[in-house]
Amino acid sequence: MDKLNSTLTAVKNLRSNVKQCFEHLADGTDGEGGEESRNKFVHDFQERFGAINSQLREVEQLINGLQVPPTAYSLGNTAYLAQETSQDRQALYPQLVNSYKWIDKVHDHSFLAFNNLNQNTLRRSYNYCSQKRQRLPFSSFNNDPDHIDKLLSEINTAPHTSYRIFRPFGTNAVAIVTISNVMKAAIVFKGVLIEWVTVKGFDEPLEHDDLWAESRYEVFRKVQEHAHSAMLHFFSPTLPDLAVKSYVTWLNSHIKLFLEPCKRCGKFVANGLPPTWRDLRTLEPFHEECRNC
């Protein structure tokens, strides 16, 4: 910007001196004063003309200093954007130059990285890599029908809780969990992974045709939202059996949904709802508004 300001100042001074020179030439001499007056006029004009020539050379040098070397950044016809009279269009050319510089640096860094990676001597053979790719499949994709039955039978120790398993989707199981006379929950499995949970009241139907329908009670719709959060919390493809057992244990903690007060505020009802949230570690009941307090 300093070079540009200096160049503009030099051009302004050049134009002013040229104007004064032509005004002096237009005034001329009226012939009075004789030879001496004419000689003085010619001498003044030569001095002014010499000053203009020196200023013109200075302006040319400053302009050459502003020009970008043609070998550095050749942006073709986009260079004419700098000659636009509109300020919005004048701002496009510096942005193009900065983008070109950034892309040029990225190209240089990628070229250096490519050369460094090619010089890496810690390469492994194709056979070693193919052996590393042969991993044992996760047990979470185990579709053995007896596995889910055995797994749920091992955790069917909670009183007043029953499980009923059916398979409307082939080998993948759906477990209907009935928790006392409080609520029902349909757990949809894919292998041993829990994919969906639907919670309804004890008096509501919950069969394979109702797996995706929400409860008509607000309290159980809220419990279903918390059940989805817990499903993501206990998700573990490497330890699916433990994840299912932990999740069902958490779900069984709702057996006293309407009988336990909130551990934070001590109230049984807040905003028309009982404490629908169960702590993921301690299984203590909380209202949704109280769990983050």
Tens digits of residue pLDDT in 94-152: 777 788 888 888 888 888 888 877 776 555 454 544 444 444 444 555 556 778 888 87
Q: Could you tell me how far CA 143 lies from the centroid of its own chain?
A: 37
CB-based contacts of 173, cutoff 8 Å, min separation 6: 145, 148, 149, 165, 166, 167, 189
Regarding pTM above 0.85, the answer is: no
Report the pLDDT averaged over residues 184-208: 91
Q: What angle in degrees, to the nearest 10, is found between the helix axes of 218-233 and 240-252?
A: 150
| Residue 243 parent element (H or E) | helix 240-252
**pLDDT confidence bin for 71, thresholds 50/70/90:** very low
| Residue 199 parent element (H or E) | strand 193-201
Q: Could you tell me how far CA 3 lies from the centroid of its own chain?
A: 41
pLDDT at 75 over 90: no
Spatial CA neighbour of 263 closest among 277, 251, 280: 277
pLDDT in tens, 4-32: 788 888 888 888 888 887 787 777 655 55
pLDDT of residue 129: 45
State the Cα–Cα distance between residues 156 and 175, nearest whole angstrom.
Answer: 12
Spatial CA neighbour of 159 closest among 136, 138, 139, 182: 182
Percent of the chain predicted with pLDDT > 70: 78
State the Cα–Cα distance between residues 189 and 140, nearest whole angstrom.
Answer: 10
pLDDT of residue 190: 86
**Cβ atoms of 185 and 199 closer than 8 Å:** yes
Most confident of 39-53, 96-110, 156-170, 249-263: 249-263
Q: Tell me the pairing of strands 183-190 and 193-201.
A: antiparallel
Instruction: Give the pair of three-digit tokens for residue 110.
Output: 């990628």
